[in-house]
Structure 1
Amino acid sequence: MKLAELTARARRIRLVLTDCDGVLTDGGVYYSERGEEMKRFNIRDGMGVVRLREHGIASGIITGEVSPSVRTRAAKLQIEELHLGIKDKTACLQEILDRTGLQADEIAFIGDDTNDIEILSRVGFSACPGDATSFARAVADFHCQTPGGHGCFRELAEFIIAAQLGNGHS
């Protein structure tokens, strides 16, 4: 897809949804000897959420995992659209559309693997981290240069913000 079309699509975005593992994290999971699961999040991605909000764009997380660390991170970032334990991300998207009155072309989604393909195909602007699987890369409109867990959400956020401000992506 050409840059002009990507920019035009990005201008319509009102909500950016993301997968968690492999996008907000590097896909690794740490376990303590007590079995506690820990995930590493990138502060720059968090600033992406803040910057989107400052520009009137909401953020949300849709993940198949049920992780207290994701809930804690979402609370810290004041993310209201938090959907944990979701096996059917497309049905979750439809519930969000029905509840908010948004249209699919007003939603961006960034995902990295096969369980994200269907939702990537249904939103107005789809993206993937630089190290996404070939399956996700094949359907995503925008391929971040940054890998998952290392600022790819921020890269996407800045592209959308720049497009909406009319800066640098026309």
Structure 2
Amino acid sequence: MNLTELQARARRIKLLLTDCDGVLTDNGVYYSERGEEMKRFSIRDGMGVERLRAVGVDTGIMTGETSGSVQRRADKLRITELHLGIKDKPARLHEIMARTGLTAEEIAFIGDDTNDVEILKLVGLAACPGDATRFARAVADFHCETAGGHGCFREVAEFIIASR
């Protein structure tokens, strides 16, 4: 897909959804004897959420994990479209579209692995981090230069903003 077509798709986006692990985080997690303790998030990605909000684009997180760290990050960024423990991402996408009235063409998704492939095929703009698996890269329209957890969400956000 050429740049002009990517920009046209990006102009239609009203909601940017993202996976968490491998996109908002670097795929790492810290464990102690008590279990999961911490995940690392990029502050730059948080600024991407704010910048999108300023131009009228909503954001959301959809992840197969159920993590208190992700809940706290979403709370801090005032992300209300938070979907934890989602095993069937395409079904949840359809629920979001029915509830919000958005079409698939108005939604972007950033995913990095095999569990994101089906939803990446459905949205108007499919993106992946620079270090995504070959499975996600094969179906994504936009390939970030930036790796997961190091600002790839911000890279997609800035592309959407610049395309307007």
TM range (shorter): over 0.9
Secondary structure of 1:26 counterpart: coil
Secondary structure of 1:102 counterpart: coil
1:136 paired residue number: 136
Distance in 1 (CA, whole Å) between partners of 2:35 and 2:121 is: 36
Where does the alignment leave 5 or more consecutive residues of structure 2 unmatched?
Answer: none
1:14 is aligned to 2:14: yes
1:109 paired residue number: 109
Distance in 1 (CA, whole Å) between partners of 2:35 and 2:78 is: 27
Distance in 1 (CA, whole Å) between partners of 2:36 and 2:149 is: 20
1:68 is aligned to 2:68: yes
Distance in 1 (CA, whole Å) between partners of 2:51 and 2:17 is: 14
2:54 paired residue number: 54
Q: CA RMSD in A?
A: 0.6
* Alignment-mate amino acid for residue 75 of structure 1: D
Percent identity of paired positions between Structure 1 and Structure 2: 76
Where does the alignment leave 5 or more consecutive residues of structure 1 unmatched?
Answer: 165-170
2:124 paired residue number: 124
Distance in 2 (CA, whole Å) between partners of 1:52 and 1:58 is: 7
The 8 Å contact of residues 108 and 126 in structure 2, kept in 1 or not, is answered as yes
Aligned-residue offset at 1:60: 0.2
The 8 Å contact of residues 29 and 36 in structure 2, kept in 1 or not, is answered as no
Secondary structure of 1:72 counterpart: helix
1:49-71 deviation line (CA, Å, top 9, x unaligned)? 00000010000000000000000
Secondary structure of 2:35 counterpart: coil
2:152 paired residue number: 152
Distance in 1 (CA, whole Å) between partners of 2:28 and 2:42 is: 13
Distance in 1 (CA, whole Å) between partners of 2:57 and 2:85 is: 24
1:30 paired residue number: 30
The 8 Å contact of residues 10 and 125 in structure 2, kept in 1 or not, is answered as yes
Q: Where does structure 1 differ by over 4 angstroms across 4 or more consecutive aligned residues?
A: none
